[in-house]
Structure 1
Amino acid sequence: MQETALKNLTELAAHPSSLFALLGTALLILALIYSKKTKLNTPLLVHVGLMLALTVILHQFRLYHMPQGGSITLGGMIPLLFIAFRYGPGVGYLAGFLYGMINLLQDPFVMHPVQVLFDYPLPYMALGLAGYFKDRFLLGASIGIFGRFICHYISGIIFFASYAPEGTSPYLYSLLFNAAYLLPELLICLFILKVLPVKRLLLQMHNTAKNNFSYK
């Protein structure tokens, strides 16, 4: 595992422009959070850390893994959606960026700095859009996952057109390829959100933070 991690870091270090692009994205997120006057306090950081860990775990339970990337999981995006619902889009973007970085370190595939952005941090940052719909969970999840789809779709058209079968439009290929796993992923997430007592769980997150960290 250590050898794999070192190999992945070495591969990333060979593309410094990608690292600068990621750093610039992180700074933009922090600037957005600061402009909204959101405090990066202890309960928030604890919740983000726990949800990131849960996201990593859930993404290990793959129902299907696409040949060229992308998986159908057992609700792997639910924890990031919870962060967006609980703390709003700014923190949702931050949590998505951090998970995108974790995903990049686990399985880097670097072709171009823009490709790195559209395949790793941006798709998961898009889940933060759900934070604009705190009381409409199904709509928020749908918009967030659609935002993720758009990022992968653009990347597929620009950087993976060569994988399209001969005579097939890269626009159609990217559409069908990304929809093949993100549509089932969306349906699974909507089902889970429909079944879970989301409002009660979010309230429990608030009460736990308040009681354990004197958070207001």
Structure 2
Amino acid sequence: MEDSSYTPKSDKHNKKPQKEKTLLQEILSTFIYIVVITGLFLSVRIYLLAPVSVEGASMEPTLQDGDRLLLNKVGDIDRFDVIVFPSPEDNDKQFIKRVIGLPGDEITFQDQTLYINGDAIEEDYIDLSGVSESDLQSLNSNFSLASIEGVEEVPEDAYFVLGDNRVNSKDSRSFGFIDKNQVTGKTRLRIWPLDRFGFIDDSD
């Protein structure tokens, strides 16, 4: 006679469930999760993207005091990009200006018109319609690279930057060229306030 085994139903249903994770395992798992998420966040914050706030009126009307922007820390810098860099006078403070001159460019400003390499530039991002003629002449006067920096062209590995609010901006007209290595990043996207969310230069 063949042997056969028999397991009572009560024994089948009374099997003990698999041992649940211990409290220590749960804590360790949560800790690792937090470390990974924090590491990813910091990597993006340091190397890729970061929020930046606008202080002051030097970039009006493009940017307003209190605007918050998304800073892109990678990619090439092009002419007319809005960039962020440490203040030449106070490295704890960030400046936001527009790149006007790239290496090799000749920059001239004459009769309220900007010339780059001899070509007149229509600067749609500027609005000085409410500024008096006397202020325009005194605060946005004629200049050339030769007159303010003693050179004909923007040097290699440097930028010439200006604020959009030309009558109320401390920029390359006063502190000179910005070294490429000083640039923290560039920005095109405004994320606050929400009613003005979007690209800062819609005409691009």
Give TM-score scaled by structure 2 length: 0.26
* Structure having greater relative contact order (Cα 8 Å, sep ≥ 6): 2
Bigger share in helix = 1
Larger Rg: 2
